Amino acid sequence: MKKLFTLLLLLLTVVTAGAQNRRLIVRSFSASDIGDMRARTSPAFDKNNKLAALIDITFAASDSTLVFEGMVGEPIHFPGEWLIHVPEGTSRLKVSMDDCKPLEFTIPAGIAIESGMVYLMDMDIEEAVKLRTLILPTLSMGFASPMHMSYGIMVGFCKLNGGYFRIKTDFSFGLKTTAECDADGMIDGVKGWYTGETKKSRFAVTAGYMRHLVDIGDNSSLYAYVGGGYGNRTLAWQMSGGEYAKVVPSSLSGVEVETGALYRIGGVAVSLGFQTNSFKFFEANLGVGVMF
């Protein structure tokens, strides 16, 4: 149990640790027409007094302040456009802006930054996947006879990657048995007498990894999850004396494994998954909750 909580804490720490919600991206980079003489008519010179190259940057967020590293002189800013001079042979360009992950751009292979030449660069802001919190009540249906129902809660956090924690029970606490029988009702080789009444008990704790797969439209997303943990399931038959015998083949305690998918539309989340204890008792997990 302690290991599961430690794993969950680690996953949530990774997900929430200081990642910006936006990043700068380069949509295109190319050399300008050979007749573009702006690097020569508005010259700048590097520390070796050599004519620098000019990069004309188109950037839609015209009211934003960009910070460039490795350039020659000061940038020239027009609405939606930045002009910067860089030394010949420049291979990387670093651009920073508040509330964005810095851009570290490598000049594409086949394009050499040459003295006095002009280059065209188109930049944009890409919205990163939003950090979302999941609170999902779940209903589990065990594939056994009689059907075994249990209830739980799944709590998670996810951007592109994330983690979750789930606990489930059928609230049948304190189930006590005084004997054990096989699937045919045999107790130590003797057929027992039973009333037909049964009792069941289910408890499980799991934690795991969640992944944002794809956005569907403007306000919905698909996620997947996989995890593991520990749990138990007990089935008991009432004997003629009123006490209960545990049905050993249908009573399990051990490793839980689960996987499933989650669909978010707006702030509503719907989930379908499957879970097993010891790969012998199987359940379907259905959930409807909120994801914000």
At residue 218, the pLDDT reads 76
Residue 38 in 3-state DSSP? helix
**Residue type at position 117:** M
Strand-pairing partners, residue 96, are: 67
* Rounded Cα–Cα distance for residues 287 and 279 (Å): 22
Helices (H), 28-159: 38-41
- At residue 128, φ and ψ (nearest 5 deg) are -75, 165
Say how far apart CA 107 and CA 110 lie, in whole Å.
9
Query: What pLDDT, on the 0 to 100 scale, is given for residue 16?
Result: 43
| C-alpha distances out from residue 154 to 40, 133, 202, 262, 281, Å | 63, 11, 16, 11, 20
Tokens of 178: 């005084």
Q: How does residue 15 score in pLDDT terms, banded at 50, 70 and 90?
A: very low
Can you tell me the distance from the alpha carbon of 202 to that of 172, in angstroms, rounded to the nearest whole number? 7
Q: In whole angstroms, give the CA distance from residue 55 to residue 35.
A: 15
- Digit-coded pLDDT (tens) for 119-155: 999 999 887 778 999 999 999 999 988 899 999 999 9
Write down all domains in the chain, each with its CATH number in brackets.
Answer: 2-16+130-291 (2.40.160.20), 22-127 (no CATH)
- pLDDT at residue number 110: 93
Q: Does residue 7 register a pLDDT over 50?
A: no
Has this prediction a pTM greater than 0.75? no
